[in-house]
Amino acid sequence: MSRRVYIEYRDSGNLTNAYSVELASEDGFFGIKESNSNTVIVSSGTVVSNPSTGVYEYYFNPVDGIKYTVSWKVLSSPSAAPRWVSQVIGPFSEYSSPVTASSDYIGTFKQGTLATMMLKITDFDGVAQDPTAILAMVYDVNDAVIETITPEKAKVGFYVFDWSIPENQAVGNYKITWTYTVDGTQRTEVQNAIVVGDIVDTELYTGLPYEIRLGLESYIECAQNIPVYFEQSRPSVDSKTFRFTFPRWNQTSGVKIYRNQKEIVIDGLNINYFKGEVTFSNPLTSYDILNADYNFRWFSDVELQGFIVNAIRTLNSYAPHSGYNIYNIPDRYIPVVQKQAAVDAIRKMMMCLQFQQPQQIFGGAEGAAKAFENLRTTKENYESEIKIIYEQKKLGPYVGLTRTIVTPEFTLPGGRSRWFRYLFSSGV
């Protein structure tokens, strides 16, 4: 199948024709090459097409399963220094559609640490599904495969694996691809990770904080898999980007795009799953109407992390007062922390349902009112369980809080010990 690669040249944000654009690399070696083997597919200096103002494109026939590096040479004027732009595309397969997607970002990790990767697989309605086959691969900064892993099944539709990052692993951007088969169709999802020498935000995606958050999601799973059917988009001024109401689309659930009520698959269409946007390489007409079916997460990872941190602080305030944090919370308190975090999440969702836009998910104000009452019941059930656990916290265990101190007293020199005083003390 022929594939299109393209680049847009802009001046002050506007599409403008450059003086010259061609497929070429700075070392003169290639225009398009296989990323792993460095086999040249298109030679350096290859002429490309200019179908519209500021748009340059080229078509070639890729091989299934191969990743390609594309290099562009751009001259803005005859005397300007060339600008080199590189792209990595693929791998393609017989199941690949021309629709591209902005891949998921799963965190920044320090050299020598353990990174936990997770994939949640559902159908469009949010029902968890197990694939018949699943494989994960890690690509380094040079797009070479450095890890091939069979993920573990945590529960239906949830798969995880730990990537042990070596101390000397090169810093930079890494890609994790998940290839799996559902209902006889092979799919591929891509995630991005960054390896650094020093660390700032590992906690969202590794260790105990990550595990607690996954447990929290099981309490509010339906809120993280909400289907939206045939929503009409809001076009941008240039009619190339079309925005929808809710961000954080679940990539594995699948998305259907409709143009004038007909489902489409168009070369050059890019879906940004995190912003809830669809972008075309060429603008649509003012008469075109774009609709979409998508499935989204109500809460972001950062929001869930905030609920968990606040839940631990609440636990600490109950007697006996404690100083636990997200790294050292004892196992016996994790369930109550997750339930308290779920209560905060449900409370926020109930607040959102007071407004018109979120109400549309449930068919309007009347449907949202019913959902509100159901959420209230769930929240109150969790709160009743939480109250019992908080009351039990003050009953112990009080380990290592009682001690005995023995202090001997003596007579004048030459005498002998007269008596001992025993001091008992206890602290909190």
For the chain, give every domain's residue range: 3-89, 100-222, 225-296, 301-393
Handedness of CA 312, 118, 273, 250 (dihedral sign): negative
Residues 6 or more apart whose Cβ sits within 8 Å of residue 413: none
Q: pLDDT value at position 204?
A: 58
| pLDDT exceeds cutoff 90 at 31 | yes
168: its two tokens: 């000397």
Q: Please, what is the average pLDDT of the chain?
A: 81
Q: pLDDT value at position 94?
A: 39
116: its two tokens: 């936990």
Q: Which amino acid is at 250?
A: N
Residues 6 or more apart whose Cβ sits within 8 Å of residue 47: 22
Q: pLDDT value at position 357?
A: 84
Q: pLDDT value at position 95?
A: 34
Q: Which amino acid is at 122?
A: T
- Dump pLDDT digits (tens) for 87-144: 777 665 433 333 444 556 667 777 887 777 888 888 767 778 888 888 888 888 777 7
| pLDDT exceeds cutoff 70 at 195 | yes
CB atoms within 10 A of CB 202: 18
Residue (of 308, 298, 379, 376) closest to 341 by Cα position = 308
415: its two tokens: 């005498």
Q: How far apart are CA 26 and CA 355, in angstroms?
A: 54
380: its two tokens: 């109150």
| pLDDT exceeds cutoff 80 at 419 | no
Supply φ then ψ for residue 233, to 5 degrees: -85, 170
Residues 6 or more apart whose Cβ sits within 8 Å of residue 69: 30, 32, 33, 34, 35, 86, 87, 88, 143
Q: How far apart are CA 138 and CA 29, in angstroms?
A: 27
Higher pLDDT, 212 or 252: 212
Q: How far apart are CA 72 and CA 58, in angstroms?
A: 11
179 forms beta bridges with: 135, 188
Q: Which amino acid is at 405?
A: I
Strand 270-272 and strand 100-101: the pairing is parallel
Mean pLDDT across 308-330: 90
| pLDDT exceeds cutoff 50 at 230 | yes
Residue (of 317, 101, 315) closest to 189 by Cα position = 101
Mean pLDDT across 185-193: 76
Residues 6 or more apart whose Cβ sits within 8 Å of residue 315: 322, 324, 329, 333, 336, 337, 340, 390, 393
| pLDDT exceeds cutoff 80 at 81 | yes
Confidence of residue 205 (pLDDT cuts 50, 70, 90): low
Q: How far apart are CA 287 and CA 278, in angstroms?
A: 17
Q: How far apart are CA 198 and CA 217, in angstroms?
A: 29
Please state the three-class secondary structure of the chain as a single string.
Answer: CCEEEEEECEECCEECCCCEEEECCCCCCCCEEECCCCCEEECCCEECEEEECCEEEEEECCCECCCEEEEEEEECCCCCCCEEEEEEECCECCCCCCCEECCEEEEEEECCCEEEEEEECECCCCCECCCCEEEEEEECCCCCEEEEECCEEEECCEEEEEEECCCCCCCEEEEEEEEEEECCEEEEEEEEEEEECCCCCHHHCCHHHHHHHHHHHHHCHHHHCEEEEEEECEECCCCCEEECCCCCECHHHCCEEEECCEECCCCCCEEECCCCEEECCCCCCCCCCEEEEEEECCCCHHHHHHHHHHHHHHHHCCCCCCCCCCCCCCHHHHHHHHHHHHHHHHHHHHHHCCCHHHHHHHCCHHHHHHHHHHHHHHHHHHHHHHHHHHHHHCCCCCCCCEEEEEEEEECCCCCCEEEEEEEEEECC
Q: pLDDT value at position 191?
A: 80
Q: pLDDT value at position 2?
A: 67
Strand 277-279 and strand 241-243: the pairing is antiparallel
Supply φ then ψ for residue 306, to 5 degrees: -65, -40
Confidence of residue 253 (pLDDT cuts 50, 70, 90): low
Mean pLDDT check: name the lowest of 10-24, 85-99, 163-177, 384-398.
Answer: 85-99
pTM of the model: 0.56
| pLDDT exceeds cutoff 50 at 423 | no
CB atoms within 10 A of CB 17: 15
Q: pLDDT value at position 147?
A: 86
CATH class of the domain comprising 100-222: mainly beta
Tell me if 240 sits within 8 A of 278, measured CB to CB.
Answer: no
| pLDDT exceeds cutoff 90 at 373 | yes
Higher pLDDT, 195 or 105: 195
Mean pLDDT check: name the lowest of 45-49, 135-139, 341-345.
Answer: 135-139
Mean pLDDT across 292-311: 90
Q: pLDDT value at position 41?
A: 94
